[in-house]
Every structure is written in structure tokens, then in C-alpha cells.
Amino acid sequence: DTGVSQNPRHKITKRGQNVTFRCDPISEHNRLYWYRQTLGQGPEFLTYFQNEAQLEKSRLLSDRFSAERPKGSFSTLEIQRTEQGDSAMYLCASSSGDTQYFGPGTRLTVL
């Protein structure tokens, strides 16, 4: 069990650019989640996959955000036309039951 991995760990971009993050879940986990965390807050749910199907999406999620999990293994989260308000830690988690195991996160800074 190598745990959940995320790449890159840090990303600095200019406003208006597109960014893509990758998450590799624990191999036997069929569920994958994306969360966003800002300073002083708890993780905020963005979206959830069961295998390759995206089953839930937060109403807070702008249409600039899109996520995929094409083969039910790794997932990507893309943010188009980034804004300064998108600066946050983007966390991925995976599970096979109720317990969610988090990756180290990708810290995004939008200048």
C-alpha cells in the first residue's frame, strides 16, 4: 500500500492560465474524491467518482473546473482560466468503504 499520491505538490500559475492536477488513489479503492482546503478551513468537497463514473459534484464547483477518471484508476482535476480565488490546497482522497484516505495535496498559487 503506497498511499494516495498527488502531482505536482506545488503549482504557481498566472491568472487566466489553465492548470491540471493528477491523483493516483490506493490501487484497490474504487471511490475517489476531490476536496479544496483554504487556510483555517476544513476540506470542502468538490466531486466524487465511483470507478470511472462521476457521481457527485458540488454546487459550489464552477464550470471552470472539470475532473475525469478515465479508466477508474487515476484522476485529473483541471481548472481553466484560473482566478486568484482558486488559490488553495487541492486534496484527493480514496476509499473502498466509509474511511477516506487523503493524499498530500497540490498547493495552487494563482498570481
Summarize as ranges the residues that interact with other proteins (CB under 8 A): 31, 33, 40-45, 48, 50, 55-56, 58, 91, 95, 98-105
Q: Are 77 and 65 in contact, with CB atoms under 8 Å apart?
A: yes
- 53 forms beta bridges with 50
Q: How far is the CB of 28 from other proteins (least distance, A)?
A: 16
Residue 16 C-beta: closest distance to other proteins, Å: 29
Closer Cβ to other proteins, 14 or 40, answer by number: 40
| Pick 37 or 80: Cβ nearer other proteins | 37
In the complex, least distance from residue 6 CB atom to other proteins, rounded to whole angstroms: 9
In this complex, which beta carbon is closest to other proteins, that of residue 14 or of residue 59?
59
Smallest distance, Å, CB 62 to other proteins?
17
Distance CA 68, CA 89 (A): 19
- What is the rounded distance in angstroms from the CA atom of residue 21 to the CA atom of residue 32? 14
Cell readout for 42 is 476544513
Whichever of 3 and 16 has its CB closer to other proteins, that residue is: 3
